[in-house]
């Protein structure tokens, strides 16, 4: 992670594992900053014309990743937006470049316990429909944590915080980062 300021368009890009609160925090933060709200999973669903579970079931994960890469590739066109991304957004090097080109990248980092609490009972995440979801989460998290770390300008540990608290803290960092645009 490099916390040095970079020149980017005035957008905030939230990355992190499933269940870390990206959508909730993005909604709150966009309100606080007066920025637009962009949800890349919603854009993927719109583009595919069907929900994520059906994209995975009918077309496979690779097809989902293709659409995801296309959507992320267009993010730098946004301006004054808070963007919530899918947990796998960092799994392609080209995507990471696209995320960093689009704005300040913030990693919402949660531990396995909190993730399990938040994702359990939710059937909308095809990757977690396994015999042992906890082992799946642990495995994916181990693979992805270094990628989130590498991609991020800033990391927020969210385990002990509500969505509101995360958003309040972030609003401050974003204002410092972008100065006059917020
Ligand atoms: C995925 C996370 C999901 C969604 C898809 C794949 C992943 O988004 O993009 O199910 O690979 O971690 P959330 O992180 O919003 O759940």
Expressed in angstroms and rounded, the spacing between residue 87 Cα and the centre of ligand 1 is 4
Q: How far is residue 17 from each of residues 49, 51, 135, 142, measured CA to CA in Å?
A: 24, 19, 14, 11
Polymer length in residues for the chain? 182
Q: What's the pLDDT tens digit per position in 28-71? A: 999 999 999 999 999 999 999 999 999 999 999 999 999 999 99
Residue 7: partners with Cβ closer than 8 Å, 6 or more residues away: none
Q: What percentage of the chain carries pLDDT values higher than 90?
A: 92
DSSP for residue 121: T
Task: Please report the atom of ligand 1 found closest to the CA of residue 23.
Answer: 15
CA pair distance 153, 118, nearest whole angstrom = 25
Sign of CA dihedral 164, 115, 113, 174: negative
Site residues for ligand 1, CB cut-off 6 Å: 18, 22, 41, 52, 86-88, 125-127
Q: What's the pLDDT tens digit per position in 72-109? A: 999 999 999 999 999 999 999 999 999 999 999 999 99
Closest CA to 64 of 87, 83, 84: 87
| Residue identifier of the C-alpha nearest atom 16 of ligand 1 | 18
pLDDT bracket for residue 133 (50, 70, 90)? very high
The highest-level CATH class for domain 11-176 is alpha beta
Beta-sheet pairing, 81-84 with 154-157: unpaired
For 11-38, letters b (16+ CB in 10 Å) and e give bbbbbbbbbbbbbbbbbbbbebbebebb
User: pTM of the full predicted structure?
Assistant: 0.96
Per domain, the residue ranges of the chain are 11-176
- At residue 96, the pLDDT reads 98
For the chain, counts of helices (H) and of strands (E): 8, 5
Task: Please report the atom of ligand 1 found closest to the CA of residue 85.
Answer: 15
């Amino acid at each position: 992670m490099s916390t040095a300021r970079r020149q980017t368009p005035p957008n905030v890009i939230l990355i992190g594992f499933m269940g870390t609160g990206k959508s909730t925090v993005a909604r709150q933060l966009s309100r606080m900053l007066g920025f637009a709200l962009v949800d890349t999973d919603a854009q993927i669903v719109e583009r595919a014309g069907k929900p994520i579970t059906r994209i995975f079931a009918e077309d496979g994960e690779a097809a989902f990743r293709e659409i995801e890469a296309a959507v992320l590739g267009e993010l730098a066109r946004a301006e004054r937006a808070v963007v919530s991304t899918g947990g796998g957004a960092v799994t392609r090097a080209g995507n990471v470049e696209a995320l960093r080109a689009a704005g300040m990248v913030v990693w919402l980092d949660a531990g396995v316990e909190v993730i399990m609490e938040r994702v359990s009972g939710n059937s909308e995440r095809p990757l977690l429909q396994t015999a042992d979801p906890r082992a799946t989460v642990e495995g994916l998290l181990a693979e992805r944590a270094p990628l989130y770390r590498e991609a991020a300008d800033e990391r927020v540990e969210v385990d002990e915080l509500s969505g509101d608290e995360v958003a309040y803290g972030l609003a401050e960092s974003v204002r410092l980062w972008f100065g006059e645009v917020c």
